[in-house]
Amino acid sequence: MAAPVLVGVSLKMYFGHARALRWFDAVAERVREHPAVASGDVAVFVIPTFVQLLPAVAAFAGTRVRVGAQDVATADAGAYTGEVSAVELAEVGVGLAEIGHAERRRLFGETDDVVARKAAAALRNGLTPVLCVGEADRLGRDASIAAAVDQLRRDLDGAPAGPVIAAYEPVWAIGAAEPAPVSHTIAVTRALREALDAMPGREGSAVVYGGSAGPGLLAALDGAVDGLFLGRFAHDVDALVQVIDEAAALAAEAVA
């Protein structure tokens, strides 16, 4: 059976609580009836704020949508005020943890060492890391490949075995009017996939693209990615379903 095409959404801190609940209900209604999501050909994951996690788990119960957290503590328990552990996240039904996003690195000083410890915490507790990597400045193809692959290796250094979702998000493309050029993204994501394939214990891993991703991009990337990681574009439920439809078409082509 072919691996599913992934469509992920991070809500960051854009939604208040009431709006998030309405969005969860609207998305759940649409994906519950979507044949490609119901069959598992398209795998959808949603990453809301910590306060929104429990209602998200409840809203998506009975669907195949997985819920993820936007961060995770490096430790499993203890005197860590303000932190949330992978142990507790797994206990309440969270299945993924977004780790190493460019905003966490820039605004909160997270280093590759911190990211690696968070990835390890997620994996040892059964969460799939959505590990964000990408060069800060716009570089040439070879330099971008080297930067992204080196970052991936550092961020998984010492982490236990288990699949990860590597999200290639070049920092210069986040929030931009357009995503990174297709040829650039294809080159870097293929290199990331090769790097993951060469790592022992990373079977079942995937590579997705984020950074101003939207409709039409999946087909243009021509199989170089396993899916997309969406941001503000997916606030519109109809727009999100459009990308899910494109993912479904891609999945159908893969088995044809």
Catalytic residues: 101, 169
State residue 43 phi and psi, 5-degree precision.
-110, 120
Non-local (6+) Cβ contacts of 189 within 8 A are 168, 207, 209, 221, 224, 225
Cα separation values, 224 from 8, 161, 187, 231, Å: 17, 24, 8, 20
